[in-house]
Amino acid sequence: MEVLLYTILTLCVLGVLAAVILYVVAQKFKVEEDPRIDQVEKMLPGANCGGCGFAGCRGMAEALVKRDDISALYCPVGGGDCMKAVAGFLGKAAAEKEPQVATVRCGGTCEKRPRTNQFNGARSCAVAASLYIGETGCSFGCLGFGDCVTACSFDAIHINPATGLPEVDADKCTACGACVKACPKQVIELRKKWPKNRAVYVSCVSKDKGAVVMKACKAGCIGCGKCAKVCAFGAITVENNLAYIDPQKCKLCRKCVNECPTGAIRLVGMEPLPKAPKTAPAAAPAAAPAAKPAAAPAAKPAAAPAAEKPAAEAKAAPAAKKTDAE
């Protein structure tokens, strides 16, 4: 019995000594954490989407508290209001950014971009892109397997079964950028979010030449440059056979939409401009007189016999005089 008691006492003493040692070590090497980090974390949305560049909202909160300049930090889910509230709490200045929305820049529907083969592997864009160009003749277009849908934490993007393309719900999209990172073809872009979800953009990312594009997809950009010529704001550039509309310069004038011969420029939330009355009919009469000089030489052979007639009469007159003289 005594042995049992000594054993229990010994274990209790060892436990108390270990606890004291651990407490002393913890106090000696403890790291003081700014209590504001917890408060800032509560002010953030808590989505942990990674759109800010950190693994989660905790990392973002630590950066906001520890950095003197937070102008480079931005929470796309919370937006400007959230950043202003955090900046006001910390006594710092936050950068103001325009709201953005994910935009799918591919117009190759099942109708306009027919399939040339069928992929029987894993239904993943990343897997398919690592193996070959895809089920159609376009090596730049959307693969349609839905990696972007899987990556979205806000249920803001879905594959339309009729078109085979992803569609973004602008009201749900937080511009976290998860779908942009998930797309191996770089078809999805974060663009400026206009009021009433309006937008004008080139729904094509193909850099192939026009003939190759039209063979693979009837809705692709052929790089003709007509849209750039009609834009009065310098918002459209054509590079590597592809037109691009700068959302910061675009004024939504919609002139480029009517100029595009393939319909690659997509208009969202607005009606297209009425087609002008147009310079085309006025140019037709001007072209008609140009054709007349070409028809004039054809009339000359008909006039030749008429010109020969006076010459024949002139020859006949001396002959008649000679006869009279005889």
pLDDT recorded at residue 33: 81
Could you tell me where the beta strands, DSSP code E, fall in the chain? Answer: 100-104, 157-160, 165-168, 188-192, 199-202, 236-239, 242-245, 265-268
Q: Is there a contact between 41 and 90 (Cβ–Cβ < 8 Å)?
A: no
Q: What is the pLDDT of residue 218?
A: 94
pLDDT of residue 276: 67
pTM given for the model: 0.71
CATH of 34-97, one of 1.10.15, 2.60.40, 1.20.1630, 1.10.3470: 1.10.15
The reported pLDDT for the residue numbered 304 is 43
User: What pLDDT does residue 79 have?
Assistant: 87
Are 34-97 and 100-268 equal in CATH topology?
Answer: no
pLDDT at 97: 85
**What pLDDT, on the 0 to 100 scale, is given for residue 238?**
96
Domain residue limits, the chain: 34-97, 100-268
| pLDDT given for residue 6 in this prediction | 84
Task: Please say whether the beta carbons of 128 and 148 come within 8 A.
Answer: no
Single-letter residue type at 41: E
For residue 39, list its beta bridge partners: none
Which of 239, 233, 237, 238 has its CA nearest to residue 252?
Answer: 233
pLDDT along the chain (326 residues), means of 10: 85 94 89 88 90 90 92 89 92 87 94 92 94 93 95 94 94 93 95 91 95 94 95 95 95 94 94 72 50 46 44 45 41
The top-level CATH class assigned to 100-268 is alpha beta
